[in-house]
Structure 1
Amino acid sequence: MNRIGILLENNNIDPVLVTYCGLLVSASVLVYCGSYATLHRPETALEPDPKDPLFDSDDLAPQSTVERLEKQDAYLMPVMGACVLVGLYVLIKKVDKSWIELFANAYFTVYGTFAMANAFGNFATFILKKAGFRLTRWKLALQKNPPIGNIKSKINFNGIDNDIDQDKKKEIEKQIVANVTFNSAEFSSIPLAVSISAANWYVGQNWALGNVLSASLAYSTIQLLSIDSFLTGYIMLTGLFFYDIFFVFKTNIMVTVATSLSVPIKLSMPRPTTSSSSSSSTAYSILGLGDIIVPAIFVSLCLRFDMWNHYRQNPGLTYASARTFSKPYFSIAMVMYIISLCVTILVMHIFHAAQPALLYLCPGIGGATLLVSVYRKEWALLWEYKELSENPAEDPADGLSNSNNSTDTERKEK
């Protein structure tokens, strides 16, 4: 990094720009890829058709398990975040930091190994499919009443066979209480994930290996968490907007926790040293995973809304993951994320002080989304959109209006 810094300095380029660009590109790629990882067949699309030229066998795979956040969860997010942050701050002041790092790194190493296997598997699947390879898919299912003795689980290759009677297939699916599906690329990613986790543990938290672990954690968290509506999204953005401002500007708690612990809860980029550097040790610029995950949860909702809206406008269209669709809300949200993060970095560089990134990110992506809905005359549609955790056959917008109609009927009957 010394040579890079001096080379840039000799060409009148501020070496720290390399660090900022690294953080900006890494965060933007994670938000973009994480958002696409949340896509699944919307309620407005018909079942995948094997006769469709765009059909892919993976389109028949069930939706991955997600933790859907509702309004009450969004209200509690700043409160829970504050409790965790203050708790860590107290521990840092009262307990030897090495013990905190030991337990935290042990937890994140285990969870991160699964997260890396998931992220690497998804990336390998995408590349191999683009290259024309066909991947074998397995399904590990936990069944209520298995046909063989008292065995409580069974493995199906390539999912439930498509050549059996459809009624029997549905009956089998009803008896499955939990299942995990994976393909050969995802399975092959496990050794690589274990190797990186082990290397990061024994090397002593190398920044590059730590970033791979942190990025995988962020990607998998974005894929796992989703919000059920734009109302929930705006509650989340508003609450965390004030949360971030308070803990960065009014206290030193967030900065202390972020800089004191060497755990994979942030992306770190080394600053190239120059001839004028006062210290021989490497300085790092950091970006907390919260500044990636929180906006990505909202941005991913915009992408799913774009897909839902596309199929709504084209009734009778069968679902295909390879089918392209217009993405006005997702595109503007991504652009505003990048612009807002650039503004955060610029202000931080000018004032040489930590900045609450959500101060710029939340109004940026939230405000831009509202403006697009007004411009496209889809304000009401945006607010009525709701992703249902149950009864997926129901149109999310219709579900809200049907609920209101039923309520009005009950009132009249009373």
Structure 2
Amino acid sequence: MTEKFVPTPEAAEQGLYVAYAALSTMAVVPIYFGSFASLKKWKNPKDKKSKKKKSDDSDDSSDEEEASESMSLEDAYMFPVFGSMTLFGLYLVFRYVDKTYVNYLLTAYFGLLGVMATTQVGVHCVAPIVKLVGVDVDRWHLTLTKKKKELYAAKFTILHLIMMVASILLSGYYVATKNWIASNIFGICFALNAIQLLSLDSFKTGMILLSGLFIYDIFWVFGTEVMVSVAKNFDAPVKVIFPRLFFGLPATEAYQFAMLGLGDIVIPGVFVALCLRFDQHLAGTKNPSLGRSTRFGKPYFTACLIAYALGLGTTMYVMHTFKAAQPALLYLSPACILSVLITGLARGEIKEVFAYTSEEGIEAAKAKAKEEEEKKKEASSTKVPALVKDESAEAEKTSSNSDSEQEAGEKRKVRKRKGGKSQKKK
């Protein structure tokens, strides 16, 4: 019987430092690149020229801007509530259902999502290289219609097909082996896509979201065993992991992993991306012809990204010192919020910070107002026939009453005449 390998305290300590450095890198890199991927071409709001796309404008036609989902103030308030319901639901499922079958279902689901996420990230990574080399890639348009109504539309190139095949192979490898490197690739791609596609409409929304999740994380980690239990049983690429002892571990020994949840990357990440878009807004108001250039001052983005790295380092330091799991947002939320407030106060732009609303937020507000207006119109249109009906009924009623009154009056006249005749006869 072979003895269990026990590393020396020095080797275990060094192994943890390597794991912390790897986790920090896998957290900061997606936030940095995802923030820049979320930037769109700067459009001067004062420019009243027509918004028609020119056919000879190769820049606009070749570079697609993906639609992003804007998070409003109401969403920020409800996010911790729905998050708590989902987390507790998973806890009950893992407690009362065989986790093997649950993880089979989750593996299939996240394997499918992983194909789409890695395909998208792969295309974004390979396309600039292909463009730099000078290779011209044809673009296909797929449109599904039914009775002149567009049901689905997609644009893709040969790069999408190649990366999709590679993603399917990677997903199959992950499902078959549950390899931790493949899991990290999926996790990083999920984080990149989420930071790129999910946007906050204002700093007020971002601060309320981070504050709500600050309380959420503290309650579920310190107040209950729910968060830690779900994290240990949830066998899906919703976290980045790294071995606690990577170098010097015998091949026969299984890895013990340190982990960081994707929520601790994505939620602060969308706030950091908001800071970068605010920097672009400040630069664009001064330079209306900014366009797609990223060569502008980034004081808020830099401050928030550094604050995130320091907050993450503090989390790992406390976790290493007390040898216990820590809610990362306990340190990350205040770090990100304070970085923006301090930068705004130092630059004298605190009013601009709280007055800022992203372009996505403005469009979402307009769409919501338009939808409410249409609902009001529909409601009023449904009420009009009833009013007309009531008015016609009243008209009929009044006409019938007048008719009955006329009939009664005629009867009285006839009676009077008859009475007069009878008196004459007498």
Q: 1:67 to 1:178 in 2, by over 3 A?
A: farther
Matching of residues 3-402 of structure 1 within 5 Å:
9=10, 14-44=14-44, 57=59, 61=63, 63-141=65-143, 146=148, 179-203=153-177, 205-272=178-245, 280-315=253-288, 317=289, 319=291, 321-389=292-360
SS in 1 for 2:358: coil
Deviation at 1:128, TM superposition (A): 3.0
Bigger shift: residues 95-104 or 131-140: 131-140
Pairwise CA distance, 1:363: 0.6
**Is the contact made by 1:121 and 1:187 (CA closer than 8 Å) also made in structure 2?**
no
Spell out, residue by residue over 1:250-270, the C-alpha distance to the aligned partner (whole angstroms, 9 max, x if none): 111100000112111111111
State the structure with bigger RCO (CA 8 A, min sep 6), 1 or 2: 1
Q: Match for residue 162 of structure 1? A: none
Local SS of the residue matching 1:109: helix
Distance 1:145 1:368, change over 3 A: same
Q: 1:143 to 1:232 in 2, by over 3 A?
A: farther
CA distance in 2, matches of 1:273, 1:63: 40
SS in 2 for 1:140: strand
Aligned-pair distance for 1:185? 2.9
Question: 8 Å contact 2:202–2:361 — kept in the other structure?
Answer: no
- Report percent identity of matched pairs: 34
Write out per-residue CA displacement over residues 246-300 of structure 1, whole angstroms, 9 at most, x where no aligned residue: 11111111000001121111111111168899x9432100000000000011011
Contact 1:6–1:273 (8 Å) recurs in 2: no
Unpaired segments of 5 or more residues in structure 2? Answer: 1-5, 367-426
Please state how far the C-alpha of 1:323 moved relative to its aligned partner. Answer: 4.5
Per-residue deviation, residues 308-362 of structure 1 (Å, max 9, x unmatched): 21111113x151x344211111111111111111111111111100011001111
Which deviates more from structure 2 when the two are superposed, residues 90-99 or residues 382-391? 382-391
Q: Shift in Å at residue 35 of structure 1?
A: 1.1
Write the letter of the residue equivalent to 2:32. Y
Distance of aligned partners of 1:36 and 1:15 in 2 relative to their CA distance in 1, 3 Å threshold: same
| Rg comparison, structure with higher value | 2
TM-score of the two chains, using structure 1 as the length reference:
0.78
Q: Distance in 1 between matches of 2:27 and 2:42?
A: 27
* Equivalent residues of 1:125, 1:186 under 8 A apart: no
Change beyond 3 A, Cα 1:24–1:56: farther
Name the CA distance, whole Å, in 2 between partners of 1:310 and 1:90. 49
3-state SS, counterpart of residue 14 of structure 2: coil
After superposition, the Cα gap between the structure-2 partners of 1:63 and 1:280, relative to the gap in structure 1 and judged at 3 Å, is closer
CA distance in 1 between counterparts of 2:224 and 2:361 reads 42
Greater shift in the superposed pair: 322-331 or 128-137: 128-137
Paired residue type of 2:325: A
Shift of 1:141: 4.1
Pairwise CA RMSD of aligned residues? Answer: 3.3
C-alpha distance 331-275 of structure 1, shift in aligned 2 (>3 A): closer
Q: Which moved more, 1:212-221 or 1:16-25?
A: 212-221
Aligned partner of residue 15 in structure 1, secondary structure: helix
Equivalent-residue separation in structure 2 for 1:367 and 1:190 (angstroms): 41
Count of residues paired in the alignment: 357
Question: CA, structure 1 residues 7+92, in 2 after alignment: closer, same or farther (shift >3 Å)?
Answer: closer
State the shift of 1:390 in Å. Answer: 7.9
> Secondary structure of the equivalent of 2:66?
coil
Instruction: Summarize deviations over 1:349-402 as a string: whole Å, max 9, x none.
Output: 11100011001111111110111111111111111111244876x99xxxxxxx
Distance 1:276 1:347 in 2: 26
More helix by share: 2
Moved more, 66-75 or 134-143: 134-143
**Unmatched runs of 5 consecutive residues or more in structure 1:** 147-151, 154-176, 396-414
CA distance in 2 between partners of 1:188 and 1:273 (Å):
33
CA shift for structure 1 position 179: 3.5
Q: Is the 8 A contact 2:72 2:361 kept in 1?
A: no
- Residue type of the partner of 1:386? T
Rate the CA distance shift 1:276–1:104 in 2: closer, same or farther, 3 A: closer
Does structure 2 retain, via aligned residues, the 8 Å contact 1:37–1:223?
yes
Give the CA deviation at 1:137.
Answer: 3.5
Give the AA of the match of 1:225.
Answer: L
What SS does structure 2 have at the residue aligned with 1:226? strand
